[in-house]
Structure 1
Amino acid sequence: MIRLTSLKQKLVLFVILPLCLIMLIAGSLGMRLISNVLLKQWEETAISKMQRSAHNVDMRLMRPKELFHFFQQNKQQQLGWRETQLLIAQLRAIDGVVEVKYNITKDQEHAMGRMYSLQTTFISSIGYNTKLQSQTVSVVAQFIDTTGTIVSHIEVVVEFFDLVKQIVKAPWWQGNKAFILDQNGTILASTERGGARQAYNSKSLQMFGSTSELQAQTWAAIQKNNSGTVFSPEMPPNMVSGFYHLQQAPWTIVVMAAGTSVLQPILTFKTYYYILCAIGILCVLLYLWVMSSKVTRSINRISTAANDLAQGIFSLPLSVESRDEIGDLTHSFNTMSKQLKERIQLQQEMSLAGEVQNNLLPQIGFETAGLDIAVLTKYCDKTGGDYVDIIKMSVDKRRATVVVGDVVGHGIGASLLMTTLRALLRGRAIMPGSPEDITRDVNTLLCQDTLRSGNFATLFYLTIDCTKKTLEWVRCGHEPALVYCPKQNSFTELKGPGLALGIDTDWQPTQNSCDFVNDNQIILIGTDGIWDVENNLGEQFGKTRTRNLIVENSALSAQEIIDNILKAIDIFRDQQPQNDDITLAIIKTKSPLC
């Protein structure tokens, strides 16, 4: 099976080839129609020519008939001897009449005025007149008595060739096969006799229709119609014939011609027609080829640019050379290329921003005697709004502060607010003050950036002092921290009132505190991205699974607990995408805290 691999191949197969076939079919139908029109014109012309030639013969035969008719009407159908002599004299004076014969006796001459009348005339068969030594034909009028009996006749003899000389001298008779037939199909005159154009004598008369199939078909048509044409079965026909009945004699004029001579205008037109069609088709093909080349060149230009684009090569915008669909496609490609370039630049900038943000997060935990801290942040995008930090660490004093925050939203906007929060928090934490003072001052400064945008951030600020055996925290709208005591196998929460940062400038945070009462406690501070994770069934990970994981891994280090929790989340999520940032901090106390 042939596979089309280019637009030009498809254009040739689906456009140019069908167009050529349509033009050829249309040309053939047009030729056939024109051939029929020309044949019809030849038919009308041939019959018209034969009719004009036959009209001369009819007029000459009409003259004696009109005289007979005139005398018959004027004498109340009764003729006397005097009228008969006048009639004969006038008949002899007609041009072309060579003899007038009559067989009226003396007795009949005496009685004609009383009892004889003239009957309707008729044309006799052609005969050979030995006296004139030529073929003649007669117009015969018969006399009848009162009983209807034929008693005598008048015969007007006309030389046959003198009668039909206008026919045999006509150009159409000279240039074609032509015949004059009687009512029996006998050939009275023809253009064929040893090449001579003359009449047949009585010994050589032939019957029409015996020499060819076309003659037989023509004779059959003559029996049915007064005039007409007959074509041989080929298309275009090899031979054509036309015939016409005379009005005053039982004769038929037949002309036969070769199809090539009749259809010469058709053949000439056909030659020029096909030449013009070929030139027209070539011009159309050339035009389509040029236009298709222009289209394919534009498409190839776009295809090349698309391949370069796929390899990361951004070239100059393509020139728009037309206002059609190709121009629209080129314009759309330029727009797409520009937007894609901007998108890639944005992704590169986002990747850089992500790297910068990751560098702002703690890369390692904190560990000292009786205290093990590990933290983790996993963004769903390149950047995110979750924040975790370990500040004010002191190995000697066995003291550390862990901060976990969650900025509303995702992406670059949330990451910028998170960076602002980190800068404010770290800048304020190096100065003296309690957690309550620090969070209050950070909120005051953050509100200056968020009041018009409506953004905010939740925060959990926890300070662990192993020397004083105390926990101090401020909860700013964040989830309470979970505290697990393996000895008692119980969970508690570090709660407390608090509003998210960046909402109210005048808000006063509340500091909470408690003493250590148990050894080996595990504290988890996380964002809602942990327990809000969903699997393929839409089920959330939840806090119950989180608590169970803490219980199962309580004997491990803080970092190992984080790794196992993250692994369990990935298994639970399966193929579902991560839709929120995940941040958690594990603080584990080891051995006695004091």
Structure 2
Amino acid sequence: MEFRKMMDSKYRDLLVSYIKDESEQALYQGQKFSRKSIEHKISPEDIISLHKYLMIDLYPDLPEHVIKSFDILLEVMIGYGFAYREHQSLRHVQQEIRSEMEIAANVQQTLLSTEIPSTKELDIGAISVPAKMMNGDYYHFVEDEGHTISIAIADVIGKGIPAALCMSMIKYAMDSLPETRKLPSNVLENLNRVVEQNVDPSMFITMFYGMYDIQSHMFHFASAGHEPGLYYNSKTGEFNELVAKGLLLGVDKKAKYEQVKKEINPGDMIVLMSDGVTECRTEEGFIEKENLIGYIKKHMHLKAQDIVENVYKELEKIQDFQLRDDFTLIIFKREEV
């Protein structure tokens, strides 16, 4: 309040001082006056009104057209003031939303974190990179006392906090399944009922669920409309798709899921991914699956984690380092032991 009482005299002194000798000191004091005005929430139009009043008081013979020019300036500044305050308000809201999103992203990372299993029979690598702050992709490993290693990889059709909450529900639904219901087709059937009953109809989830039997080296898998995985045959040097029929989760609560098995020999690989991998876009359009296979072959002499990281770098580069969708890539490589 003290500044408001004194601002008339302070601004008068500034105005007179500058008109008299146009000093740099007066301009500097003017900048300080501006900062003080902002601190005390003095609007731009209030300063224009004060300026007009003082000019008429100091120069009674001021030409009429000059006085009128202050009127138009005042109207301009009133509009500017409203727009500026609205802009500041929106910035504040955006900062709050960003802060909340950062907290949500950290919570998501904590809730959905999973450790890559370590076993002498398998070399496993995994990478998941969100296109934005929140990740709509999800992967989770389940290790069964050295007998099996299961992997779930999912993609929510829908992004942001709702997708993160949905993924948390999926994770805990999987964790609550009894040991007798761990076969891939059973897992997807159970999760499908959970999603159908609890998730908004506008949201759908694709999922690939695989179970690797370390003793028999058989890979059992099922899919709920997810991007097909790839199987690399080390003897023939060929890649083939791992296809299993099944609807997206949440479409039909009575849906059944085909379960397929594949024998994995030493040197063979299983490649699992989200559609953010196969739908990488360049100026020419989507990359072909052959291009993806080419990048995998280029680095397949490396450890599995190095393969997924190098393939990610290759695909990130051809997209000018701008991911358009969440990216998840997982590789199982059977070791020769």
Q: TM-score range by the shorter chain?
A: 0.7 to 0.9
Counterpart amino acid of residue 250 in structure 2: G
Task: Quote the offset at 1:375 in angstroms.
Answer: 1.4
Task: Quote the offset at 1:293 in angstroms.
Answer: 8.1
Q: Where do residues 255-404 of structure 1 align in structure 2 (5 Å cutoff)?
A: 282-283=59-60, 285=62, 324-362=75-113, 364-395=115-146, 397=147, 399-404=148-153
Give distance in 1, aligned partners of 2:183 and 2:164. 27
Counterpart amino acid of residue 238 in structure 2: S
Aligned partner of residue 444 in structure 1, secondary structure = helix
Give distance in 1, aligned partners of 2:210 and 2:182. 14
Counterpart amino acid of residue 503 in structure 1: V
CA contact (8 A) 1:530 1:541 kept: no
Indicate the residue corresponding to 1:437 in structure 2. Answer: 186
Indicate the residue corresponding to 1:548 in structure 2. Answer: 294
In structure 2, the CA distance between the partners of 1:284 and 1:374, relative to structure 1 (3 Å rule), is farther
In structure 2, the CA distance between the partners of 1:360 and 1:327, relative to structure 1 (3 Å rule), is same
Task: Quote the offset at 1:284 in angstroms.
Answer: 5.3
Task: Quote the offset at 1:416 in angstroms.
Answer: 2.6
Counterpart amino acid of residue 186 in structure 2: D
Task: Quote the offset at 1:548 in angstroms.
Answer: 1.5
In structure 2, the CA distance between the partners of 1:341 and 1:510, relative to structure 1 (3 Å rule), is same
Aligned partner of residue 392 in structure 1, secondary structure = strand
Report which structure shows greater RCO (CA 8 Å, sep ≥6). Answer: 2
Task: Quote the offset at 1:415 in angstroms.
Answer: 2.4
Indicate the residue corresponding to 2:163 in structure 1. Answer: 414
Task: Quote the offset at 1:430 in angstroms.
Answer: 6.0
Give yes or no for the alignment of 1:425 onto 2:174: yes
In structure 2, the CA distance between the partners of 1:282 and 1:380, relative to structure 1 (3 Å rule), is same
Aligned partner of residue 492 in structure 1, secondary structure = strand
CA contact (8 A) 1:376 1:388 kept: no
Aligned partner of residue 62 in structure 2, secondary structure = helix
Task: Quote the offset at 1:384 in angstroms.
Answer: 2.4
CA contact (8 A) 1:549 1:565 kept: yes
In structure 2, the CA distance between the partners of 1:281 and 1:499, relative to structure 1 (3 Å rule), is same
The sequence identity of aligned pairs, in percent, is 24
In structure 2, the CA distance between the partners of 1:507 and 1:284, relative to structure 1 (3 Å rule), is farther
- For the pair shown, the structure with the greater C-alpha radius of gyration is 1
Indicate the residue corresponding to 2:271 in structure 1. Answer: 524
Task: Quote the offset at 1:447 in angstroms.
Answer: 0.8
Indicate the residue corresponding to 2:319 in structure 1. Answer: 573
In structure 2, the CA distance between the partners of 1:326 and 1:468, relative to structure 1 (3 Å rule), is same
Give distance in 2, aligned partners of 1:554 and 1:280. 84
CA contact (8 A) 1:392 1:429 kept: no
Task: Out of 542-551 and 408-417, give the one that drifted further.
Answer: 408-417
Aligned partner of residue 504 in structure 1, secondary structure = coil
Counterpart amino acid of residue 444 in structure 1: R
Indicate the residue corresponding to 2:46 in structure 1. Answer: none
Counterpart amino acid of residue 522 in structure 1: M
Give distance in 2, aligned partners of 1:510 and 1:349. 40
Counterpart amino acid of residue 507 in structure 1: A
In structure 2, the CA distance between the partners of 1:523 and 1:362, relative to structure 1 (3 Å rule), is farther
Give yes or no for the alignment of 1:482 onto 2:238: no
Indicate the residue corresponding to 1:559 in structure 2. Answer: 305
Task: Quote the offset at 1:295 in angstroms.
Answer: 9.1
CA contact (8 A) 2:224 2:249 kept: yes
Give distance in 1, aligned partners of 2:72 and 2:214. 79
Scaled by the length of structure 1, the TM-score of the pair is 0.44
Counterpart amino acid of residue 562 in structure 1: V
Indicate the residue corresponding to 1:588 in structure 2. Answer: 333
Aligned partner of residue 547 in structure 1, secondary structure = helix
Give distance in 2, aligned partners of 1:329 and 1:282. 28
Task: Quote the offset at 1:390 in angstroms.
Answer: 0.8
Aligned partner of residue 487 in structure 1, secondary structure = coil
Task: Quote the offset at 1:280 in angstroms.
Answer: 12
Per-residue CA deviation, residues 145-194 of structure 1 (Å, 9 max, x unaligned), is xxxxxxxxxxxxxxxxxxxxxxxxxxxxxxxxxxxxxxxxxxxxxxxxxx
Give distance in 1, aligned partners of 2:103 and 2:180. 31
Task: Out of 541-550 and 519-528, give the one that drifted further.
Answer: 541-550
Aligned partner of residue 283 in structure 1, secondary structure = coil
Counterpart amino acid of residue 212 in structure 2: I
Aligned partner of residue 325 in structure 2, secondary structure = coil
Per-residue CA deviation, residues 475-501 of structure 1 (Å, 9 max, x unaligned), is 110111101122320112221111100
Give yes or no for the alignment of 1:538 onto 2:249: no
CA contact (8 A) 1:486 1:551 kept: no
Scaled by the length of structure 2, the TM-score of the pair is 0.75
Give distance in 2, aligned partners of 1:280 and 1:415. 64
Q: Where do residues 442-453 of structure 1 align in structure 2 (5 Å cutoff)?
A: 442-450=191-199, 452-453=200-201
Give distance in 2, aligned partners of 1:456 and 1:488. 37
Task: Quote the offset at 1:392 in angstroms.
Answer: 3.1
Counterpart amino acid of residue 353 in structure 1: A
Question: Deviating runs (4+, > 6 A) in structure 1?
Answer: 286-296
Name the Cα RMSD after superposition.
3.0
More helix by share: 2
Give distance in 2, aligned partners of 1:585 and 1:548. 16
Give distance in 2, aligned partners of 1:532 and 1:547. 14
Give distance in 2, aligned partners of 1:522 and 1:339. 50
